[in-house]
Amino acid sequence: MKTEAAERINVEKIREDFPILKRKVNGKPLVYFDNAATSQTPQQVIDCIVDYYQNYNANIHRGVHALSQEATEAYEKARITVQKHFNAKESKEIIFTSGTTHSINLVASGFEEFLSDSDEVLVSGLEHHSNIVPWQMLCEKTGAKLKVLPMTEQGDLNMSQFEVMLNENTKLVMVNHVSNALGTINPIEEIIQKAHEVGAKVLVDGAQATPHIKPDVQALDVDFYTCSAHKICGPTGIGMLYGKRDLLEALPPYQGGGEMIDQVSFEKTTYAGLPNKFEAGTPNICGGIAFGRALDYMNNIGFEKIQAYEQELLEYATDRLNEFENVIIYGTTTDKKTAVISFNFEGLHPYDVGTLADKMGIALRTGHHCAQPIMDFFKIPGTIRASFCFYNTKAEIDLMIEALQKANTMLL
């Protein structure tokens, strides 16, 4: 199985698509293992961005001239690409946002008028700050109670506790599909089903899942799903919010401005329908189009192949890291997570290791990964995180191991 996967994905050919992988850092060839923070951009997406600004840059939805129509068409076509990718029922259920954080804030702000102090909002303990803080703000404003679903030592959500915590006052449940700090794949199917049994709505933060998994929002029956394009080979500053149509229609607009209106007078303004109601002002037109192109690029490779190959990288890297006697790997077993390893070396500060690795051309993430509650749980200042993408190779993992060996020798 494993060798087959490696043959099926042509890494050398794929690497040719990513010009940045040819550059050097501190005189060494770049080894980029910070993919969970942002993925690199293939030439196809870069070309798409250049093409937009060279050939049809115009404001959308309002001009009768040719450029405006071309831009509108490309932007709306991208929305359909996103819709199909996530298998949403209708393209108007896809709202282009600036990314996951924006998507979450949009929903949190919309729920303000639906919550009262007898309600409860349940957030998983594995969350990134952007799926914690907007809900804290919502609870402060409405008086609703914020409850945190605890995690186990293995970095899994405590599912038996989940059932205990759910009740008829639970109005919203928030969980990431995959944890950014540990890579854990959460049992969102079960969470969604159980939350629905008590009438709660579920928002799934898909920022870390979408680079590896192709979610089917209808099969999941999820109420809201979010992602950021820059983690799936697209540009920064664009992402999406999927919401079930009836829910999006019920939520009030997030921002006021152009594009989101139907009729405006100083006495009364009526709002546009979906998706424009949530896209006030000139949107990130080029970003939206490039986002669609990025999804096409990844689908051309195929998510099954991507997953199989990344799993192979994950297992290889885990085995090689375990060669260190003083390594501590955080989180769940390799079969329940995406290609992310969060680790530390006993007696070494992650910042020191990361600094030396960078000197050797290896881009790792160190720190709390914007998930301080998880670091507090493990009682550590942070971890070193290596996150892999389908363009990475085992040879690069060997270079990382070599760099880590050198760092250990220097620091211990």
Q: Which residues bind other proteins (CB under 8 A)?
A: 26, 349-352, 355-356, 359, 366-368, 381-382, 410-411
Nearest to 75 by CA among 260, 292, 237: 292
The least CB distance from residue 392 to other proteins, in Å, is 24
Question: For residues 170 and 366, which CB has a smaller minimum distance to other proteins in the complex?
Answer: 366
For residue 103, the minimal CB distance to other proteins (Å) is: 25
Q: Could you give the CA distance from residue 380 to residue 266 in angstroms, rounded to a whole number?
A: 55
- Of 240 and 404, which has the nearer Cβ to other proteins? 404
Give all strands of the β-sheet with 224-228 in edge-to-edge order: 94-97, 239-243, 224-228, 201-205, 170-176, 120-124, 145-149
C-alpha–C-alpha distance, residues 116 and 289, integer Å: 39
Q: Kindly state the smallest distance separating residue 412's Cβ from other proteins, in Å.
A: 10
In the complex, the smallest distance separating the C-beta of residue 386 from other proteins, rounded to whole angstroms, is 16
CB 233 within 8 A of CB 40: yes
Closer Cβ to other proteins, 43 or 236, answer by number? 236
Q: For 266, how many CA atoms within 13 A lie in the half-sphere containing its CB? A: 0
Beta carbon nearer to other proteins, 301 or 356? 356
The reply to whether 370 belongs to the active site is yes
| Least distance (Å) between residue 338 CB and other proteins | 24
Which among 48, 139, 227, 370 is annotated as catalytic?
Answer: 370
The nearer residue to other proteins, 20 or 412, going by C-beta atoms, is 412
| Catalytic residue numbers, as ranges | 370
